[in-house]
């Protein structure tokens, strides 16, 4: 089982990275092969809207985006981790998200993968950010775990937030459980994920 974590924070060792590392360590402890992609280290140009991918299934932009596509396609689980910037994701994250439009052709290629989300805000905006990912996962016919979030401002401050760290671990357990369940679109797509995982954990 492979899970890839996509880090959209430009701040090295920042709060989002702390939580993503908690997630990936927990996954590894449970025998999952993990991979972490820091978007700040990648050169990924914005989608130019050529729509070439809708005809060919390929993005014409030759940059680090191609490597990230491959990692996303290889993994069964994809965790997006982003700080909240103005009630939304960072531009690093959104740039990649837009580029994944190419993975929707000739048919949705992220279908049946399991999504996870980690967001960190200084004080507000985790929910509005999560809404976009909710739409994104739905659009891609992905299954997704309950998302994990936390509030912190100073670099690394989230380390003190046990609640957020536990939420991240819980998200990983849900993701592993969803991956093991091998749910398929469309038959199982209408099962609300929280209900599925609550039943699984009997909570
Ligand atoms: C450009 C920018 C925009 C931000 N917008 C918000 C916001 O809308 N809501 C909020 O609560 N915090 C906002 N913050 C604070 C960050 O979300 C917060 O500092 C977070 O811990 C950063 O995560 P990181 O350490 O992983 O980079 C913003 C920070 C920056 C730099």
Q: Which of 87, 118, 121, 149 for a ligand 1 pocket mutation test, highest count of atoms within 8 Å of Cβ?
A: 121
Q: How far is the CA of 178 from the centre of ligand 1 (A)?
A: 30
Coil, strand or helix at 198? helix
Cα 49 from Cα 177, distance rounded (Å): 37
Average pLDDT over residues 14-28: 98
Is the pTM higher than 0.85?
Answer: yes
Count Cβ atoms below 10 Å from residue 10 Cβ, excluding itself.
15
Residue 37: in which H helix or E strand, if any? strand 33-38
- Residue 203: its pLDDT value, please? 45
User: Could you read off the pLDDT of 160-187 as tens digits, one per residue?
Assistant: 999 999 999 999 999 999 999 888 887 6
Q: Which of 122, 131, 159, 160 for a ligand 1 pocket mutation test, highest count of atoms within 8 Å of Cβ?
A: 122
User: Could you read off the pLDDT of 38-56 as tens digits, one per residue?
Assistant: 999 999 999 999 999 999 9
Class of domain 2-201: alpha beta
Locate the domains of the chain by residue range: 2-201
Q: What is the mean pLDDT of the chain?
A: 94
C-beta 121 within 6 A of ligand 1: yes
| Contact of 130 with 117, CB cutoff 8 Å | yes
Q: Which whole-number Å values give the CA distances from 137 to 132, 142, 152, 199, in the listed order?
A: 9, 5, 26, 21
Atom of ligand 1 nearest to the CA of 14: 25
Range with lowest mean pLDDT among 37-41, 43-47, 120-124, 142-146 = 142-146
C-beta 40 within 6 A of ligand 1: no
Q: What percentage of the chain carries pLDDT values higher than 90?
A: 87
Average pLDDT over residues 101-126: 97
């Amino acid at each position: 089982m492979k899970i890839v974590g996509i880090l959209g924070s430009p701040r090295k060792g920042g709060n989002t990275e702390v939580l993503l590392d908690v997630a990936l360590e927990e996954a590894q402890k449970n025998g999952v092969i993990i991979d972490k992609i820091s978007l700040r280290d990648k050169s990924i140009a914005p989608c130019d809207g050529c729509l070439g991918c809708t005809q060919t299934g390929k993005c014409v932009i030759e940059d680090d985006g191609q490597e990230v596509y491959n990692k996303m396609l290889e993994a069964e689980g994809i965790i997006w981790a982003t700080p909240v910037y103005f009630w939304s994701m960072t531009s690093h994250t959104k740039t990649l998200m837009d580029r994944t439009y190419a993975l929707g052709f000739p048919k949705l290629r992220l279908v049946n993968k399991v999504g996870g989300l980690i967001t960190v805000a200084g004080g507000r905006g985790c929910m509005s950010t999560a809404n976009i990912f909710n739409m994104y996962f739905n659009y891609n016919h992905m299954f997704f775990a309950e998302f994990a979030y936390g509030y912190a401002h100073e670099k690394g401050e989230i380390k003190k937030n046990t609640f957020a760290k536990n939420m991240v671990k819980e998200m990983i357990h849900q993701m592993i459980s969803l991956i093991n369940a091998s749910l398929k679109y469309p038959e199982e797509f209408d099962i609300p994920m929280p209900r599925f995982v609550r039943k699984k954990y009997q909570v």
